[in-house]
Amino acid sequence: MIQVKRLGHATFTTPDLEQQIDYWTQVIGLTVVDQGKDRACLATRLGQECVFLERGSEKGHMPQIAFQVAPGSDLGEIAAKLRSHGVHSEFRKDISPGVRDAIAFRDPKGTLVEVYSEYEFAADDEGDGGVDPIKFGHVAYRVKDPQKLTAFYCDILGFRVSDWIGDHFSFLRCGVDHHTLNFVRYEDEALHHIAFELRDRGEIHNACDLLTKKKIQLVWGPQRHVVGHNIAAYHRNSDDIRVELFAELDQMKDETMGHWEPRPWHEERPLRPKNWPKDTLRSQWGFGSFGTFPGYP
C-alpha cells in the first residue's frame, strides 16, 4: 500500500492573481517562493510550500492537490501499485521549487493528485506579519459519494478513518493529526474549506483581531468542535474560499494504542475512532455551537 505522510500543497485558480497574492502574504502570512506572469507558489515561513495560485476565470477552484510520502520512496513502485488498482499515472518533473520528481493521477472526483517523496524546504525570507500558520492542516471536499472517496484514499493511499458522522461525513488522517482530508455529502461537488494550524489558542485570538483590522469578517466561530475537538475560526477570502484557522486538534501519537491523546474535554476515556450520530453538534461551545453537521456553513 502507498503510505501518504503529509499534505503538501493545493492549487487554486483565480481571476485576480495579484489580489490573491496580497491576501495570502499580508493576511495569512505566507511567503512567495516563485512567481511568474500567471502562477505563484507560496510557502509557510517554516519553509513548507502549501498554496499555489494559477490565473484562471474561476474563483477558488482547486484542480490539484499534492502529498508527500516517505523520503527515499521509489516513485516507480508507487506507479506500479497505482496500476494494480487500475489507476493510470504519469511522471512529472519540477512541479514546484521544492519538488523535482512526482507522479500524477486523478482521484474519483477528478482532482489531479501529485505524490512526491523528496522535498527541499524553502529558504527563510526573514519576513513577519500576517497570521503566520505553522502548517497547511487539512482540506475538506463536498462530494456526492463520501464512501467512494474515503475508500479510494484509504485503500490506495494509506489514509486511516478517524471518525464518521452518520454516513455522510468522513475524517481521514495520514499522520498523527485527527484529519488531513474530509469528505462530506453534497449534490454539488466543490471545495468545502481548507485549514491552517496555528501555534495555540492565543494565536486564534490574535488572528481574529488581525482579520478584523483587515476588514475580513468571521463566518463561523471561534468555537471548539466536537469531532476533532479543535478550536477553530472561519472566514472567506475575496475568492470565496472558506479558510479555517485552528489549534489543539486531536492527535493519535501511537497508532498501536488506537486512541486520541487524553484531553479533559473528551467525551470518552479513552476516545477512539468512532461513528458519531448524524445529529452530532458542530461544536462544544462558540458561535454556531447548536447547529448540527448537515447545516455546516
Choose among 271, 262, 263, 297: nearest CA to 283: 297
CA-only gyration radius of the chain, Å? 18
Name the pLDDT band for 281 (thresholds 50, 70, 90): confident
Contact 70, 78 (CB under 8 A): no
Contact 273, 227 (CB under 8 A): no
| pLDDT on residue 55 | 97
> Could you tell me the CA-to-CA distances from 111 to 85, 107, 167, 168, 191 in Å, in that order?
17, 6, 22, 20, 11
Cell of 49: 510550500
| pLDDT on residue 222 | 95
| pLDDT on residue 288 | 59
Mean pLDDT of 221-245: 96
Choose among 22, 18, 42, 17: nearest CA to 30: 42
Instruction: Tell me the C-alpha distance between 16 and 58, whole Å.
Output: 10
Phi, psi of 220 (to 5 degrees): -165, 135
Phi, psi of 8 (to 5 degrees): -95, -90
Cell of 50: 502549501
Give the DSSP H or E segment for 9. Answer: strand 4-14
Name the pLDDT band for 266 (thresholds 50, 70, 90): confident
Q: Which residues pair with 42 in a beta bridge?
A: 32, 51
Phi, psi of 104 (to 5 degrees): -130, 140
Parallel/antiparallel/unpaired status of strands 64-69 and 4-14 = antiparallel
Residue 69 has pLDDT above 90, yes or no: yes
Mean pLDDT over each residue of the chain, to the nearest integer: 94
pLDDT digits (tens, 9 = 90+) for 145-198: 999 999 999 999 999 999 999 999 999 999 999 999 999 999 999 999 999 999
Residue 290 has pLDDT above 70, yes or no: no
Mean pLDDT of 249-277: 93
Instruction: Tell me the C-alpha distance between 207 and 121, whole Å.
Output: 25
Phi, psi of 190 (to 5 degrees): -170, 170
Name the pLDDT band for 293 (thresholds 50, 70, 90): very low
Exposure string of 154-171, with b = 16+ CB inside 10 Å and e = fewer, is bebbebebbbbbbeebbb
Lowest average pLDDT, out of 37-51, 138-152, 252-266, goes to 252-266
| pLDDT on residue 12 | 98
For a pLDDT cut of 70, what percent of the chain falls above it?
A: 97
Mean pLDDT of 77-91: 97
Mean pLDDT of 73-77: 97
- pTM assigned to the model: 0.95
DSSP state of 72: T
Domains in the chain, CATH or no CATH each: 4-116 (3.10.180.10), 135-291 (3.10.180.10)
Contact 53, 20 (CB under 8 A): yes
Cell of 243: 479558510
